[in-house]
Amino acid sequence: MKSVRTLVESLRQNLELDKVSTRKRALKLWNISVGEKLSPMCSVVGFSESTIIIRAFNPAAAMELRYRSNDIIAALNKSAGKELFLYMKVTLRPGRDRER
C-alpha cells in the first residue's frame, strides 16, 4: 500500500501542478517581456500546456506580436528559469474601449 505522501507527489507530477504555477508567475512578467510600447495593445488570455494565448487589440499589434513571438517566448522562459512555453497564439479583438 502506498502512503498518502507518495500518492500526492505522484498526482502532482502527473498534473504538472508545479509547471502551471510557474507559468502563471512567468506570465505576470508579460509587460516586461513584451515592452512598454506593445503591452497596452494586448493582454494575456491564458495558456494551454506550452502555448501562450494572447489577445491583440488591433491588427498592427497582432502582427508585431507574431513577428516577435520567438523573442517574447525566450524572454518569458528566461524569467521563469526554464523552458515553459514553446508557442504563442495571437487572437485579434478590438480594444476594450470599443466593447459594448
CATH assignment at residue 20:
3.30.300.180
From edge to edge, which strands make up the β-sheet containing 42-48? 42-48, 51-56, 87-92
pLDDT at 13 over 80: no
Q: pLDDT tens digits for 17-55? A: 566 777 777 777 788 888 888 989 998 888 888 899 999
pTM for the predicted model, two decimal places: 0.70
State the total domains in the chain. Answer: 1
- Bridge partners of residue 46, in order along the sequence: 53
Give the phi and the psi of residue 40 in degrees, each rounded to 5.
-70, -15
Closest CA to 24 of 85, 66, 86, 71: 85
* Average confidence (pLDDT) over 76-93: 88
Place of cell 470599443: 98
* Average confidence (pLDDT) over 66-73: 94
Question: Which domain, by its residues, includes 37?
Answer: 4-98
